[in-house]
Amino acid sequence: MLWDQKVRYATLSDIGLRRRNNQDSFCVQMCSEQEIWDKFGHIFIVADGMGGHAVGELASKMAVDTIPLTFFKSRAELLPVALKEAVEHANGAIYKRGSENRDFNRMGTTCVVLVLSPKGALFAHVGDSRAYRVRADRIEQLTFDHSLQWELERQGRLKKNDVFLSEVKHVITRSLGPEPAVEVELDGPFPVLPNDRFLLCSDGLTGNISDAEIGMIVRELPPDEAARLLVNMANLRGGSDNTTVIIVQAGELTGCNPDEERPAPKRRSRGLSLLWFFLAFACVGGGAALYYEGFAALAFGAFVGGILLLVIALLSLRSKPEAPEDDEEDATVDHRPYRIASARPTKEFMSNLAQIELELRKMANEENWTIDWATHGKIIVAAKAALDRRVASLAMSELGKAIDLLMTGFHGHRKKLKHRREAGEAVDGDSSGG
């Protein structure tokens, strides 16, 4: 990955519909100078705190504050070492704070970190906050969930349909803070190609949205629109948890060969083979002429030369393309996507989005949410046209905008009901969803 590659990113953290506070934290620190980039790279972090009241919030906040601070000061020679030490340092700081105050005892947080640097994409994580990569038409989970479910599945002690599954789903086996030492898992560095998209997220997103759905949204939409649609979807499916997402898109290479990061296998020039053939036939032709002129010895020499050139020509045609030196896949230290799904938009998903929009619109009308209907109308016309033309990215973008507009109205309506309730007014029904 090169300094010239402009990185686009979006961040969004949402409290959800059921929680009293948002215990997730996130942080992005982009290098302002190439010198820092060369040495460290851009850093992106999502942390999901746990513990009662403000405790989880404090733990996740401490993680996203401490990790970059330590990382950019590191004197470690190797980037993975610097990153690992930074996460371990955050663990120590959270543990110390937890043991100083009884109210903060055993506070903890997950964390997932992405460092984008000249070496590629490097990840560190503890807990079940995840990192995904969306490349071409697939989404890959690059991190292993430190959860009881995943650990038991790895040991073959849990099957996909186990009744026990719902019990262990949200139990995490590793986090920052509760213990003085923690095992930090590193993945990568993975090579970065232009247009690769990375997603870091808390389990509020992955609890209710499938990998394939996440893949389609991240693949088709610009990072900011994708982040909004993902959070809206999480809330539409219950919003039972806080949801935090960071989407990072690696830019195209301006003024450079876009394939520079992954050199195409070099083929030997066919022109060279043709030249050998031409010379071979020239020798044979020359030999024939010499033979008729009576120069038998010279003709024999020309024939032998012609045959040799013919052999060279045939061999040069058959030669295999050279293997690219230092192939990028080989450079991958630890390439192991844990789960893979297709990120190609499906008809079902598109009609599902259209259905969601329609139902929201119905509710908005029935409950009189405050909506900018003129803007909404224009968006819907554009969405319908895109659906008719089967342009998935445009249709998804317009439907995403319409859903966002309606969800903004929904949140406003919810807030209004809450204020009325707090003021002691009776509120008809409970349409707020919680």
| Interface contacts to Ca ion, rule CB under 5 A | 48, 202-204, 241
Based on CB atoms, which residue is closest to Ca ion, 17 or 284? 17
Torsion of CA 365, 366, 369, 370, to 10 degrees: 40
* CA angle 322–134–182, rounded 5-degree value: 100
134: left (phi over 0), alpha (psi -120 to 50) or beta: beta
> Is the peptide bond preceding residue 258 cis, with omega within 30 degrees of 0?
no
Cα–Cα distances in Å, from 219 out to 46, 54, 59, 138, 197?
20, 35, 32, 8, 8
DSSP structural state of residue 128: S
Q: Which residues pair with 27 in a beta bridge?
A: 45
Q: What share of the chain is helix, strand, coil (3-state, %, to 5)?
A: 45, 15, 35
DSSP structural state of residue 344: S
8 A C-beta contact, residue 241 and residue 165: no
8 A C-beta contact, residue 205 and residue 131: no
- DSSP string computed for 26-69: EEEE--SSHHHHHHT-EEEEEEEEESTTTHHHHHHHHHHHHHHH
8 A C-beta contact, residue 167 and residue 232: no
Based on CB atoms, which residue is closest to Ca ion, 57 or 203? 203
Q: How far is the CB of 128 from Ca ion (least distance, A)?
A: 8
Based on CB atoms, which residue is closest to Ca ion, 151 or 241? 241
Q: Is 197 helix (H, G, I), strand (E, B) or coil?
A: strand
Q: How far is the CB of 162 from Ca ion (least distance, A)?
A: 22
Q: Is 6 exposed, middle or buried (0-12, 13-18, 19+ CB in 10 A)?
A: exposed
Based on CB atoms, which residue is closest to Ca ion, 41 or 51? 51
Amino acid present at 75: R
Task: Give me the phi and psi of 411, to 5 degrees please.
Answer: -65, -40
Residue 20 CB neighbour total at 10 angstroms = 7
Pairing of strands 185-190, 243-250: unpaired
- DSSP string computed for 153-181: HHTT---TT-TTHHHHTT-BS--BSSSS-
Cα–Cα distances in Å, from 14 out to 57, 143, 228, 416, 429?
13, 23, 10, 19, 25
